Amino acid sequence: MQRFINNPDHLVDEAVRGFVKAHRDLVTLHPDNERVIISRSAPVQGRVGIVTGGGSGHEPAFMGYVGHNMVDAVAVGELFSSPTAKSFYDAIKAADGGNGVCVLYGNYAGDNMNVKMAARMAAKDGIQVRTVVANDDVCSAPAAEREKRRGVAGEILMWKVGGAKAATGASLEAVQATAQKALDATRSVGVGLAPCTLPANGKPNFEIAPGTMEVGIGHHGEPGMEVVGLKAADAVADDMLDIVLTEQNLDAGDTVAVLVSGLGATPINELYILYDRIATRLETMSVEIIQPLVGNYFTSLEMMGATLTVMKLDDELRGLLATEANSPGLRVMP
Amino acid sequence: MQRFINNPDHLVDEAVRGFVKAHRDLVTLHPDNERVIISRSAPVQGRVGIVTGGGSGHEPAFMGYVGHNMVDAVAVGELFSSPTAKSFYDAIKAADGGNGVCVLYGNYAGDNMNVKMAARMAAKDGIQVRTVVANDDVCSAPAAEREKRRGVAGEILMWKVGGAKAATGASLEAVQATAQKALDATRSVGVGLAPCTLPANGKPNFEIAPGTMEVGIGHHGEPGMEVVGLKAADAVADDMLDIVLTEQNLDAGDTVAVLVSGLGATPINELYILYDRIATRLETMSVEIIQPLVGNYFTSLEMMGATLTVMKLDDELRGLLATEANSPGLRVMP
């Protein structure tokens, strides 16, 4: 295993320490919990707090989206494992400015359980907690069972919208409703070309035969919709776009946010090749792309592959995406 | 080869097209040259223009650093190959605001030759051109032959400084002198853990045996100083820091810029593990780190490994690094 590791058991602690040192202008470590990172802008009295959390190995997600007008506090889990309920609880307390906290996270069993416990603990402290559970990954369950779908890179757009909405001074109910609206307008799909290796294990966590690709793969290598022969980049982009657009009902004149994220090891120029095709297709449909994002925004260690996320925008979402933001993983200039 | 490619011969054109579409708020394609990308802020009448260029496959370098207060125009080469003299010439013309152009590029034979030809062509148009040739890669030649060393990730800091200096309205001579000063204060080193594959070739472009690492590796897999057994992350960070500090003469109270860049496939959390150690070591020396950068800033396709760059700062360099900048690869908030 060709990796920069000291001890797999300390990997997350060391990465968090390095992250907090590298971004000390924007974030700080929770004084009593080394798995909670807090924005230096948080909490703001009277403003709704935004919290997220999830397993490590997806950097810059989740910790990279803590910052000004973004996420206020993040709970950090082990590699590909949920943070503890205590960490979510500490993040909620740190983000609370007296007006409640909205936890915007992904639909995984451990996260669901631990956020629920944390919300109960926070309620005892008098902190109101609302949640939005991201389930943007189209291939992880049929449309009729959308509540079973996983949350993937669409979470980044949900955090951007939620953070910007909270910054307007909106109520907890309004922040939750807008984040939910953002999520409801968002669909994602992943295509995997090669697996990743968890250092404690030392072996690839699944197999993708050379010359094939896994359409609909999850952020931890969860099985996709189908394994097919590896196609040319344009055909892959077409497949991805067809999948995310199935439930989007786009018309000429609509505007969308588009995020193409690498899964870790795919060269960045190939992400732009995918984007070139996606942009051309949307242009042909007379759909306008606002603030596209192309790069390694939500990874899976050194997995090869990419995800496509499309969010259909209304005036409110468009405005909130354009709000100034400053986090290590996403900066929107004023 | 598990990659998102249509045709290796069109890879760069497609990536450039996707890049320009994704960042159309910041950049535009040269109307007559599909291998030249121009900042929407350029040219500014009376301001020195900043140009760079280099082979593709290092994204976000080189094109990602075109933008406001950064590089004004970039010449784009084939994968791991120099741009043509014509492309450098077109970039120079596009960046010229009547006060001369400074070409800040890396020390490779093809780039040297083509920049020299381009400067001669521009001189015939009455455009004054000065150059600074980056040679920050410590292991590529002994200190006594520094002019033979290659330019690597330190170029990013040189572009940041050069772009900010030009933004002050400084003369061509002053911009060149400050960019040269930045470069003279900068040292870099790379460590490779696994090779990369050029799509047209289809096979890894060199070998690194599992369980070993190549210290001093170049951005195209150029042989390093030595191949040794793969060490723990902290020991790798120590080795890298020792190499770059040999010629830096750091004292307690000094300030430095630090850039830890992944080479493409190394998970981002491992870059933070390296940074954690580097920051701790510098702290022990009472050396302060200003605006550290950790991430995939200068890659080599899907190579595994990382580079460390350290720039020793004076008041001017510190101020110029802090100047607002907006490019796809680097944003400094106002």
Closest CB to B279: pick one of A21, A230, A233.
A21
How much is the pLDDT for B205? 87
Count of A–B CB contacts within 8 Å? 191
Q: Provide the token pair at A252.
A: 């000429």
CA distance linking residue B111 with residue B52, whole number of Å: 10
Give B-chain residues touching A208 at CB under 8 angstroms. 2
Say yes or no for a CB contact (<8 Å) between B271 and A3. Answer: no
CA distance linking residue B75 with residue B30, whole number of Å: 10
* A219 a catalytic residue: no
Chain A nearest C-alpha distance from B130 (Å):
30
The total of other beta-carbon atoms located within 10 Å of residue B65's CB is 26
Closest CB to A22: pick one of B7, B25, B294.
B294
CA distance linking residue B206 with residue A255, whole number of Å: 45
Instruction: Judge contact between A93 and A65, C-beta under 8 A.
Output: no
pLDDT, one tens digit for every residue, chain A (334 residues): 999 999 999 999 999 999 999 999 999 999 999 999 999 999 999 999 999 999 999 999 999 999 999 999 999 999 999 999 999 999 999 999 999 999 999 999 999 999 999 999 999 999 999 999 999 999 999 999 999 999 999 999 999 999 999 999 999 999 999 999 999 999 999 999 999 999 999 999 899 999 999 999 999 999 989 999 999 999 999 999 999 999 999 999 999 999 999 999 999 999 999 999 999 999 999 999 999 999 999 999 999 999 999 999 999 999 999 999 999 999 999 9
Chain A nearest C-alpha distance from B72 (Å):
19
* Nearest Cα residue in chain B from A193: B2
Instruction: Find the helix packing angle between A85-95 and A109-124, rounded to 10°.
Output: 50
Residues whose CB is less than 8 angstroms from the CB of residue A212 and which lie 6 or more positions away in sequence, other chains included: A227, A228, A229, A230
Say yes or no for a CB contact (<8 Å) between A5 and B233. Answer: yes
> Pick the catalytic residue: A23, A30, A58, A219?
A58
Q: What is the pLDDT of residues B247-306, one digit of tens each?
A: 999 999 999 999 999 999 999 999 999 999 999 999 999 999 999 999 999 999 999 999
pLDDT, one tens digit for every residue, chain B (334 residues): 999 999 999 999 999 999 999 999 999 999 999 999 999 999 999 999 999 999 999 999 999 999 999 999 999 999 999 999 999 999 999 999 999 999 999 999 999 999 999 999 999 999 999 999 999 999 999 999 999 999 999 999 999 999 999 999 999 999 999 999 999 999 999 999 999 999 999 999 899 999 999 999 999 999 989 999 999 999 999 999 999 999 999 999 999 999 999 999 999 999 999 999 999 999 999 999 999 999 999 999 999 999 999 999 999 999 999 999 999 999 999 9
Residues whose CB is less than 8 angstroms from the CB of residue B185 and which lie 6 or more positions away in sequence, other chains included: B248, B311, B312, B313, B314, B317
Active site residues of B: 58, 220
Say yes or no for a CB contact (<8 Å) between A22 and B268. Answer: no
How much is the pLDDT for A205? 87
Helix (H) / strand (E) containing B29 = strand B27-30
Distance of CA B321 to the CA centre of its chain: 15
Closest CB to B302: pick one of A17, A196, A266.
A266
What DSSP string describes B276-334? HHHHHHHHHTTPEEEEEEEESSS--TTBEEEEEEEEEE-HHHHHHHHS-EE-SS-EE--
Say yes or no for a CB contact (<8 Å) between A299 and B267. Answer: yes
Residues whose CB is less than 8 angstroms from the CB of residue B217 and which lie 6 or more positions away in sequence, other chains included: B190, B191, B192, B223, B224, B305
Choose the mutation target among A2, A196, A277, A309 for the interface with B, i.e. most B CBs under 10 Å. Answer: A2
Catalogue all structural domains in chain A, each as residue range(s) with its CATH number: 10-184 (3.40.50.10440), 186-314 (3.30.1180.20)
Say yes or no for a CB contact (<8 Å) between B232 and A3. Answer: no
How much is the pLDDT for B135? 98
Chain A nearest C-alpha distance from B123 (Å):
33
Give A-chain residues touching B8 at CB under 8 angstroms. none
Say yes or no for a CB contact (<8 Å) between A276 and B210. Answer: no
Chain A nearest C-alpha distance from B15 (Å):
5
Give B-chain residues touching A14 at CB under 8 angstroms. 233, 272-273, 276
* Nearest Cα residue in chain B from A278: B18
Closest CB to A59: pick one of B4, B18, B269.
B269
Say yes or no for a CB contact (<8 Å) between B299 and A268. Answer: yes
Instruction: Judge contact between B100 and B133, C-beta under 8 A.
Output: no
Say yes or no for a CB contact (<8 Å) between A59 and B275. Answer: no
Say yes or no for a CB contact (<8 Å) between A22 and B275. Answer: yes
Closest CB to B273: pick one of A18, A57, A292.
A18
Sign of CA dihedral B64, B69, B71, B72: positive
* Nearest Cα residue in chain B from A195: B2
